[in-house]
Structure 1
Amino acid sequence: MRTIALAVYFTLLSVVMQAYAQDKDKPAYVIFDAKGKQIAYGTMLKRLEAADVVLFGEQHNNSLAHWLEWELLRDLTTAMPGTYALGLEMFEADDQLILDEYLRGQIKESYFLKEAKVWDNYRTDYRPLIEWAKQHSIPVWATNVPRRYAHMVAHHGPAILDSLPAQAKAWMAPLPITIDQELRSYSQMREMMGGNHGQGMQATNFVAAQALKDATMAHFIVQALEQKSKLIHYHGSFHSDYHEGIVWYLRRLRPGLRLLTISCVEQEQLKKLEEVHQEKADFIIVFPAGMHKSY
């Protein structure tokens, strides 16, 4: 009996110590599939390699997500060199010429940073992507609509785009842009705004401005796929969550594309995917809520 009792004691002690050790662990991230099943990075990577387009939805100030973006770009382009193009919401279409000049080594980085509309966190968060692409001759597409045109739509509605010259229209998706105001992500945005924006913008116009960005990014992704067979695209998670936004427009433009999406979220705990995040993407990467932010 004493032997059995000791065996039970040590078994229970082992369970308690393992639980304690797990509580002391501080994982940087955990990956789940859409249903909430935890999966390994390598499993996700293999599935992503089979896709034509990978849409990586980030939280713009998430330092760990930016590190993982670089890791994923490196892994995909190393596994299949010469296959991928890179697309970035963080560059506007009218900066494509400057971006190309820098990637070809025709201008110094100082000129690139001065003349392109780089984001404030470019050096810490996006420069590694650009430099990797530059070193490995990976084409980079500035996929976002120039911000001034989204601003125009948000204040005056999409019809104002018709007044622009042809050169300006070349930096956005072909007009007129179809907008489904009832898409889940768009309707949620409209509800959050309570009908009007604090600066006087009507909620429907604000949604139209977001749709202009989504449609434009999809438009340039399709153009990039005429140059390379695969593409990985980085953008705010809103633009592809629930397979809407960019995904909705891509499916209208190229119905047969094999698309896979990633969404980055933050939770207090990493053991289980919270219900609110399920189905947001094909892969949901969960980061600790208290993690360091890049700004």
Structure 2
Amino acid sequence: MSVIFSVLCSFTAPVFASSSSWHGRILRADDETSMTFEQLTSALSTAEIVVLGEKHYTPALQAAQGEIIKAVVREQRREGNFTTAWEFLNASSQEETKHLFSLVVSGKITAVQFLEMTQGADSSSYAPVIEATKELGGDFIGVNLSRQEKSPVSRGGIGAADPKLIPPGFAYGSPGYHERFVDIMSAHVPPEKMQNYYDAQCLTDDVMAYQLIQSSTKPLRFLVVGSFHSDYFDGTVGRITARAPGQRTVTIRLIDASDYTQAELQEGFRDPKYGALADYLYFVNEPSEAPRLSRSMSQNVQDFLGIR
């Protein structure tokens, strides 16, 4: 294990190194006012579903997710009574996931070995999420479709899906969600295939929402998911709120500040058309000299559609 990874795994509740630092900065998204980690934890004291919208494979970000999970569980006193759901694990492999996680809990394999067995190499940044769940006695589940299950939809649209995989009450995302999807994917998908890919995207969103609600009856649930699925309270978040309107769902958008310049960060993250990205914004790392947001977002979309 590298020195850098060891440091990230020991990540503690963030404090600002200086007023100009972005690493560990937390904002209330509706008015972009600053708050401390303790204030964030307190704000989540009554949350029932916490959606962590992320940029994949970003060690500092996944370390922060682990700390958020631990802090909220302790705040609510839900030790042994919560679930962590992960986009990268499939609902159809639930029994295997439960078995492998039980080996983590018993100490027979490590979190990194669990990741190697389920994801292959280069996924060790997610170890803090697994370790946080293990430490506080939570369940760890998958909620997604496999690439093999989604592939017919990407090729032939929703009509090509196995009917057993379509959740009851399936619905598409909002018109704004469709606009953002087309904008990001237009450089990667031919126009004649765009609807098929959007079908696969919306099916993924609704399956994850359905599985999160159906596969766990615990009073506190976390969902670790690519940020496009949760931005602007759409995608998977929109389907969660539609399927569980009586439950308090809170979204945290974790942002890699190095995907932005200082000037871009200071412009804020509230879109004039779509509104706030999430309930709360949590930043890791420091701004870069050149903007890289478009590349990062499109790469995230390719990741969760499995078209890389």
Shorter-chain-normalised TM-score: which range? 0.7 to 0.9
Question: Which residue in the other structure is 1:286 paired with?
Answer: 283
Query: CA, structure 1 residues 242+27, in 2 after alignment: closer, same or farther (shift >3 Å)?
Result: closer
- 1:44-76 per-residue CA deviation (whole Å, 9 max, x = no partner) reads 111112111000001113222111101111212
Q: Which residue of 1 aligns with 2:11?
A: none
- Aligned pairs for 1:135-284 (under 5 A) are 135-162=135-162, 169=164, 172-174=165-167, 177-180=170-173, 182-194=174-186, 197-198=189-190, 202-226=193-217, 228-265=218-255, 266=257, 267-269=260-262, 273-276=268-271, 279-284=276-281
Q: Is the contact made by 1:85 and 1:224 (CA closer than 8 Å) also made in structure 2?
A: no
Distance in 2 (CA, whole Å) between partners of 1:254 and 1:206 is 26
User: In structure 1, what is the equivalent of residue 83 of structure 2?
Assistant: 85
Q: Partner amino acid for 2:254? A: C
SS at match of 1:202: helix
State the TM-score, normalizing by the size of structure 2. 0.74
Secondary structure of 1:29's counterpart equals coil
**Match of residue 122 from structure 1:** 123
Distance in 1, Cα, partners of 2:113 & 2:282: 35
Q: 1:64 to 1:276 in 2, by over 3 A?
A: farther
Partner of 1:100: 98
Equivalents in 2 of 1:203, 1:175: separation in Å?
A: 24
> Runs of 5+ in structure 1 lacking a partner?
1-20
Deviation at 1:186, TM superposition (A): 2.3
Query: Could you tell me whether the CA contact under 8 Å between 2:172 and 2:202 is conserved in 1?
Result: yes
2:88 partner amino acid: M
The structure showing larger relative contact order (alpha-carbon pairs under 8 Å, at least 6 residues apart) is 1
* TM-score, normalised by the number of residues in structure 1: 0.77
Residue identity (%): 22
CA contact (8 A) 2:67 2:132 kept: no
Secondary structure, aligned partner of 1:177 = coil
CA RMSD of aligned residues (A): 3.0
Q: Say whether the 8 Å CA contact 1:32–1:273 is kept in structure 2.
A: no
Which whole-Å deviations, capped at 9, do the CAs of 1:95-145 have from their partners, x for residues lacking one? 2112111222387569855653x164322x212222332344311110111
Greater CA drift, 127-136 or 230-239? 127-136
Partner of 2:28: 33
Matched position secondary structure for 2:161: helix
Tell me the distance in 1 between the aligned counterparts of 2:222 and 2:127: 16
Give the residue type in structure 2 aligned to 1:191. D
Are the structure 2 counterparts of residues 260 and 112 from structure 1 closer, same or farther at C-alpha, using a change threshold of 3 Å?
Answer: closer
Q: Structure 2 unaligned segments of length 5 or more: list them.
A: 1-16, 290-295, 297-308
User: Which of these two proteins has the greater Rg computed from alpha carbons?
Assistant: 1
